[in-house]
Amino acid sequence: MARSRLTVDRLCSYFVLMESSRRFKPPWTLVRENSECYVVKDANGVTLAWLYCRDDTQRYSFGASKLSSDEARRIGKAIARIPEFLMPRQGFYPRGGGPRWRADRPYHVALEDRYIREHWDEIYALCKLNSLPFNGTGEVIESDGVWRVYEFTWQMDAILFWDRFEGRWLRGTEFHYPERPENLPSLKPLENWPKSSPRDLR
């Protein structure tokens, strides 16, 4: 049975990115190939993904199955960031224990309870804007103040959360103080929102 091009492309993309033994050198970059296509390439120029788009069909019903150029660009940027999220950062280890530790969410960051109470709306809005999936464990730690613990599946998500809100990295039941990585991606800022820092409360 003949397969559609879309189906074949999906299968090929899955094989190349998930099953291949080849390594694709970072950084990955997004390039506008032409008016109808974005391309993601690795540092050696190997093409990793094609994202086709058509802006002139969006006003018609048959255009609903097409990506707009803005949608293709945003998806392409997300694909290009895959190496950032998969690259382990030295010093930022999984917690490896603790009363609320889970193997599927091994990275834990603690924030000061007072800061959370006074800036919860900002924390929630910023994480939602940046698709940063923080989950409260319900664990409370008393160590020079009261701290509440959040868990993460991906190391990079945890690092970005730790960095922006000046949290404490957890290893076991102890606070750990790794150095801030160089070239850490910046979170998209909230518009018309004064930036706060936990340091202001100390």
Q: Assess whether pLDDT exceeds 60 at residue 73.
A: yes
Residues 43, 80 contacting (CB under 8 angstroms): no
Torsion sign across C-alpha atoms 167, 148, 145, 118: positive
Model confidence, pTM: 0.63
CA distance 128 to 113: 20
Check whether the bond before 185 is cis (ω within 30° of 0): no
Mean pLDDT, rounded, for 23-38: 87
Residues 106, 94 contacting (CB under 8 angstroms): yes
CA distance 38 to 31: 6
pLDDT tens digits for 81-97? Answer: 887 767 778 899 999 88
User: Measured between alpha carbons, how far is residue 164 from residues 39, 97, 197 in Å?
Assistant: 31, 24, 8
Mean pLDDT, rounded, for 167-184: 92
- The three-point CA angle 45-47-53 to 5° equals 130
CA distance 102 to 181: 25
CA distance 170 to 158: 11
User: Measured between alpha carbons, how far is residue 180 from residues 89, 95, 114, 160, 167 in Å?
Assistant: 10, 18, 24, 10, 12
pLDDT tens digits for 36-54? Answer: 899 999 888 999 999 999 8
Can you give the pLDDT at residue 9?
A: 45
In the block, which residue shows the tokens 């959370």?
116
